[in-house]
Amino acid sequence: MFPYLTVFGRDIPVYWLCGLAGGACCAVLLLVRHRSFPDLKQVDVTNAAALGVVGMILGARLLYLLTMLPLLVENREYLREHGDVLKDILLNGMVFYGGLFGFLAAVQIYLKKYRLDRSAFWDYAAPCLPLFHAFGRIGCFCSGCCYGFESERLGLVFVHSIGGPADRPFFPLQLVGSAGEFCLFIAVLLFERAHRGQGKALPFYLTAYAVGRFVCEFFRGDEIRGVYAGLSVSQWISLLLLAALIIRHVIRRGRPARTAA
């Protein structure tokens, strides 16, 4: 694996380069799709996206630290003596769900403050979420984190890994996840086109991702992500997200009946 790319004597994390590539692709996608959403002003799209990126980074870091908290408490004596290890933990690592919720919350705040059409905006922007994540998973592969189960037959040794063991073969679940995200990107595009103007693209994406993430977690090999009662933190979040989406759907379906009554 190649977690760093050396440019002019400086080591640049490939994970961040993949994130930049994903962000650039999303920017191009938004420019192309803007013709179908002329009522959305470019300045609002730019401002919402910028605020969303801030929320994404903060959310991803916060959830990572929360998942690491039990490990930090358990090894507090060791970390007290090895400040460099503690510094590395505090300055590195992200969790996608935290980034996703941070992004959604930050953008929602902007849309609500300026009274913009939230349904139209999320129909417009929803395909960017799996597209960006697809590049992020490639970054995970390069860093050697988020790997799958240990396997001599199907595994790869993540040499120079900075996110896991570098001496044993693990199934490259990151690449499977990346391929799945690219497929989900196409699915969200097609779904939004078929249901344009109905505000269903984001719920569709969240539902599909939550189901896929729940299943995918069974094949993960990195226990550092936290496992409680047999399920990982991301699986519990997936279940809660699905429950919230179901409740939202039931409430929305019941509104016309109550109005008519």
Where do the domains of the chain lie? 4-199
Radius of gyration of the chain (CA): 20
Which H, E and C letters describe the chain, residue by residue? CCCEEEECCEEEEHHHHHHHHHHHHHHHHHHHHHHHCCCCCHHHHHHHHHHHHHHHHHHHHHHHHHHHHHHHHHCHHHHHHCHHHHHHHHHCCCCHHHHHHHHHHHHHHHHHHCCCCHHHHHHHHCCHHHHHHHHHHHHHHHHCCCCECECCCCCEECCCCCCCCCCCEECCHHHHHHHHHHHHHHHHHHHHHHCCCCCCHHHHHHHHHHHHHHHHHHHECCHHHCEECCEEHHHHHHHHHHHHHHHHHHHHHHHHHHHHC
Of 135, 141, 178, 137, the C-alpha closest to 29 is 135
Question: What local confidence, expressed as pLDDT, does residue 114 receive?
Answer: 95
Percent of the chain with pLDDT over 90: 67
Q: pTM surpassing 0.85? A: yes
Mean predicted confidence (pLDDT) in 58-85: 81
The residue-averaged pLDDT of 212-239 equals 88
Query: Cα separations (Å) of 103 from 54, 82, 154?
Result: 7, 33, 35
Instruction: Using pLDDT thresholds of 50, 70 and 90, give the confidence band for residue 27.
Output: very high
Tens digits of residue pLDDT in 187-223 = 999 999 999 999 999 999 999 999 999 999 999 988 6
> pLDDT at residue 5 above 90?
no
Share the mean pLDDT of the chain.
90
Residue 12: predicted pLDDT = 87
Q: Which residue has the higher pLDDT, 83 or 40?
A: 40
β-strands 156-157, 169-170 pairing: antiparallel
Amino acid at 121: F
